[in-house]
Amino acid sequence: MHFDVIILGSGPGGYVASIRAAQLGMKTAIVEKESLGGICLNWGCIPTKSLLNSAKILQSIKKNGELFGIKNENIEINYPEIISKSRRIVDQIKKGILFLMKKNGVHVIYGNAQLKKRKKIEIFKNEKSIGEYSASHIIISTGAIPKIDTEIQYDRKKIITYKEALSLSSLPKKMIIIGSGSIGLELAYFYHSMGTKVTIIEICPKLFPSGDDDISDYLKRCFDKIGIKSYVSSSINQIIYNTENNEVIIDIKTLSLKNLVLKADTILYAIGVVPNVKHIGLEEVGIQTEKGFIVVDENYRTNIDGYYAIGDVIKTPSLAHVASNEAINCIENIKGLNCKKIDYNNIPKCVYSLPEIASVGYTEKESKEKGFQIKVGKFPFSALGRAISDENTDGFVKVIFDDKYDEWLGCHMIGNHVTDLIPEVVVARKLESTSHEILESIHPHPSLSESIIESIAHAYGKAIHL
């Protein structure tokens, strides 16, 4: 059977590409080896947010219940139900994606796809070929898989990846998390909230390696305060299974303590993800890769005519919303619509722990390294009426502007609901708004959005409430 376009993988890149292609009148097929929605829906973005929502509700009742006149005695955690709820939400959204496939006339093929030359793919189930398909255009959107330390023995019980961490049958008493990217931080907060003693080990010198220094420092203080211990600039010397006590012993090297021995029931490896491109036929077709990533041009075309790649398999930010936008751009370019290129410096990045983290653009350090003369403003939520009334005053908003042209270089937030505030900054930067234009826009009172106005005002010596 021949299609105009075949997409490999049904994550936020793949299924969005298939819908947009169908909308533009293309005969479309999508291939998925497991479940519609890919890792993001089934084992990533969606289930983690469900778990974190349970954790935040629990912590809110424990911390602030009595302040709001709500008695909070005898609170019990039904951990299996928390996990079950997250899986029900996943199933609900999967049904929604399947509905969209049917609504748009997208042909769904289940199985493992093997790329072939001359724009063909072969589908396998249980290692048996079930058919061959051809297309005018083939898009690779197979996503990413957990990065594995090849020297570590993953038994999926005592030493696990994020996939197992989302559906553990019982709560561990002690957990060590290796890596403090978004996955590690979110799961650290969740398990801590459920009553697990959590320790984070990070090889980089700050807890949130990709974030602004002020954000990372503040997050560490918050985690220290609630009892999540973390060791930065630390590396693993050895991991030992103690079968007698059914525990794992980890020997780490730190800057301050040199060597430290920790014990836990479970070790979660959250050291990142790598492109899921092995065994899909790249070599047979001759598609070029570099350090595991598929090489593409600005229109997501590979070096072989008719083959494209989007999302986590290419060297752009590994974020669901990035993959979705690359999907639309890729399809529209195939149709000759000449859509505007993605500005990868205006991509919002979010962590949904508590406090939440949201950022876009350059950090203060990056701005200085690029030679900008900058103005920096910060406004704490502790000075904001809405945050005080909500009893959620942790965190701040930090803005960075170019002093010469008044360009909004970056914005970094930490606190409650900041992941809902960051889109305003993304839109303002897209429209090339100046600080003065933002200051002239009226924000509602009381609201968390006032923190953006106040932080900009602080940068220019005009802050009213600070």
Answer yes or no: is pLDDT of 202 > 90: yes
Question: Is the pLDDT score of 154 beyond 80?
Answer: no
User: What does the block give as tokens for 176?
Assistant: 């060590």
Residue 242 in this model has a pLDDT that exceeds 90:
no
* Model pLDDT, residue 21: 98
CA distances, 421 to each of 148, 228, 386, 424, 458 (Å): 34, 26, 14, 6, 18
**What is the per-residue pLDDT for 157?**
83
Q: pLDDT confidence of 76, banded at 50, 70, 90? A: confident
**Backbone φ, ψ for residue 439 (5° rounding):** -65, -25
Mean pLDDT of 165-185: 94
* Type of residue found at 215: I
For residue 256, pLDDT over 80 is answered with: no
Give the pLDDT confidence score for residue 391 in this predicted structure: 87
- Looking at residue 257, its amino acid is L
Output the pTM of the full model.
Answer: 0.94
Distance (Å) of CA 260 to CA 104, 153, 255, 268: 57, 21, 10, 18
pLDDT at 243: 74
Residue 69: pLDDT band (50, 70, 90) is confident
What is the average pLDDT across 228-247?
87
pLDDT at 18: 98
Quick one: pLDDT at residue 328?
97
What domains, with CATH codes, occur in the chain? 2-145+274-344 (3.50.50.60), 159-271 (3.50.50.60), 355-459 (3.30.390.30)
Query: Across all residues in the chain, what is the average pLDDT?
Result: 94
Work out the percent of the chain whose per-residue pLDDT is above 90: 84
Is it the case that residue 244 has pLDDT exceeding 80? no
- pLDDT tens digit string along 5-47? 999 999 999 999 999 999 999 999 999 998 999 989 998 899 9
Read off the pLDDT band of 156 (50, 70, 90): confident
pLDDT confidence of 64, banded at 50, 70, 90? confident
Give the model's pLDDT for residue 279. Answer: 93
Torsion angle, CA of 315/316/321/325, rounded to 10 degrees? -90
pLDDT bin (cut points 50, 70, 90) of residue 254 is confident
- Least confident residue range of 255-259, 313-317, 421-425: 255-259
What pLDDT does residue 155 have? 79
> Would you place residue 339 in the very low, low, confident or very high pLDDT band (cuts 50, 70, 90)?
confident
Share of the chain above pLDDT 70, in %: 100
pLDDT reading at 436 higher than 80:
yes
pLDDT digits (tens, 9 = 90+) for 261-292: 999 999 999 998 999 999 999 999 999 999 99
CB contact set of 338 (below 8 Å; sequence gap of 6+): 332
Distance between CA atoms of residues 89 and 62, nearest Å: 25
Catalytic annotation, pick one of 137, 321, 436, 445: 445
- Between the alpha carbon of residue 429 and those of residues 82, 309, 345, 433, 435, the distances in Å are 38, 27, 10, 6, 10
Judge whether 445 counts as a catalytic residue.
Answer: yes
Average pLDDT over every residue of 202-214: 95
